[in-house]
A and B are shown apart, each in its own frame.
Chain A
Amino acid sequence: MMGNEQSNHAHQMSESFEPEQAEREFEAVRARLDADAPPEALDQRLRQVEMLLRSAPFESPSPGFASRVMAAVAALTFPHLHNRRLSLSLALGLALAAALTLPLLALGIAALFDALSDPAILNNIVTLAATAIGSALGLVNEYAASVESLINEMPMVPALLTTAIPLAMLVSWLAWYLLGGPRWLLQRVAL
């Protein structure tokens, strides 16, 4: 009986601070109330909290804080804030560069089309490309043949590789862990 009165009282107290508080919030708090404490004690605590919070002073920064902030601001450079003239000059410079570059680019493209329209030059280019591709394929074939001969001579090589690679990974991880790897990583995250 006493517990119910206390809970109702606490509810009224809370509602006086937050009138629209949902009922489910009160249910959550009801479970946390100290069953032995008289309602007056809860009243007193809630009033103390209100008084403490409402009377707490504003803290001020140390003298010269604004000057330090402005010094830090002055050390920053933001083109969109500081130097709109610089942005305009940059834009004009880029436009001028583009105006000068475009005719050169057009001349280059025209020369390329001239070269491609000549059958002899086109033939040379195609021959050169075919030779390069042939050389690359030859190198791959050579490498595959050497691997094949190695496996024929030493059948244990594939088995050794499949064992050695995971083992090397495990040893590397162990060394990293023992040398403080996780600590280094956490410090980086904290930064």
Chain B
Amino acid sequence: MSQEADALWVGRTLTGDQDAFGELVLRYERDVFNLAYRMLNNRGEAEDAAQEAFLRAYANLDRYDSERPFKTWLLSITSNHCIDRIRRRRLTWLSLEEPLPPHPALTSDLPGPEEAALADERSAEVQALLDELTPDYRVAVVLRYWYDLSYAEIAEMLGTTESAVKSRLFRARQALAGQLGARPLPALNPELRGS
């Protein structure tokens, strides 16, 4: 039903009805933003990336294959854009004559521990772990755990094979387990310290 509704909105958008695209934006803004935020770990940059993803989807809507779910097509555009952004970050030139940018932890807009709710705390813990992964591994983990996509869907979105996706997820979990071991236990939420 949802896919049919998506096809309907896409069709109307292609006839020039911008409000129809607005319906798609409202439906998927959270999915697109969450993926961008989990990839980039910065709310402002994630909103920019999410907006750019929607604009790219709008600009290329005539190339969308209506046989595929609109959501996975949109998430595919978002993940590719976020990976591009992360790669571009590495190319940023740091001049010795200019002051260094502040450490990301100092500019993070995550709430402080006093006002953080349990969900925020958990989200920040997960984000800190995700940040240790390379973009290719991070995107596989986010698509698997937040969006519950199958290996085949992730492989299609990332332009790779199912076995490569399984391998990335396996290695990512091991790396995350290693990170958990390296972190002091008090930093973790008490209810997540094993059973």
Nearest CB in chain A: distance from B140 CB, A: 12
**Beta-carbon contact of A74 and B18 below 8 Å:** yes
| Given the contacts A53-B141, A54-B145, A58-B30, A48 and B88 also touching, CB distance less than 8 Å | no
**Beta-carbon contact of B166 and A70 below 8 Å:** no
Chain B positions within 8 Å of A29 at CB level: 170-171, 174
Main secondary structure of the interface of B (DSSP, over half): helix
Report the bound CA distance from A178 to B40 in whole Å. Answer: 35
**Beta-carbon contact of B59 and A76 below 8 Å:** yes
Report the bound CA distance from A189 to B91 in whole Å. Answer: 7
Chain A positions within 8 Å of B33 at CB level: 59-61, 65
Q: Mark B4-27, 1 if CB is under 8 A from A, else 0.
A: 000000000111101001100110
**Beta-carbon contact of B181 and A18 below 8 Å:** no
Interface size on A, residues (CB 8 A): 54
Nearest CB in chain B: distance from A45 CB, A: 4
**Beta-carbon contact of B93 and A84 below 8 Å:** no
The B21-45 residues at the A interface (CB cut-off 8 A) are 21-22, 25-26, 29-31, 33-34, 37-38, 43
**Beta-carbon contact of A56 and B122 below 8 Å:** yes
**Beta-carbon contact of B51 and A69 below 8 Å:** yes
Within 8 Å of chain A (Cβ to Cβ): is B73? Answer: no
Nearest CB in chain A: distance from B188 CB, A: 7
Report the bound CA distance from A51 to B191 in whole Å. Answer: 10
Instruction: Report, nearest first, the 3 A-B pairs whose CB atoms are least far apart.
Output: A44-B194, A45-B177, A61-B33
Within 8 Å of chain A (Cβ to Cβ): is B95? Answer: yes
Main secondary structure of the interface of A (DSSP, over half): helix
| Given the contacts A42-B177, A49-B180, A56-B146, A66 and B91 also touching, CB distance less than 8 Å | no
**Beta-carbon contact of B192 and A81 below 8 Å:** no
Which residue of B is nearest A57, CB measured? B119
Report the bound CA distance from A124 to B59 in whole Å. Answer: 57
Within 8 Å of chain B (Cβ to Cβ): is A73? Answer: yes
Within 8 Å of chain A (Cβ to Cβ): is B47? Answer: yes
Within 8 Å of chain A (Cβ to Cβ): is B131? Answer: no
Nearest CB in chain B: distance from A50 CB, A: 8
| Given the contacts A14-B174, A59-B34, A47 and B195 also touching, CB distance less than 8 Å | yes
The 8 Å CB contact of B29, one of A14, A53, A66, is A66
**Beta-carbon contact of B92 and A73 below 8 Å:** no
Report the bound CA distance from A34 to B180 in whole Å. Answer: 13
The 8 Å CB contact of B169, one of A18, A32, A73, is A18
Chain B positions within 8 Å of A96 at CB level: none
Report the bound CA distance from A29 to B22 in whole Å. Answer: 46
Chain A positions within 8 Å of B37 at CB level: 59
**Beta-carbon contact of B59 and A60 below 8 Å:** no
| Given the contacts A41-B181, A66-B26, A84-B15, A21 and B195 also touching, CB distance less than 8 Å | no
Within 8 Å of chain B (Cβ to Cβ): is A88? Answer: no
Chain A positions within 8 Å of B29 at CB level: 60-61, 65-66, 69
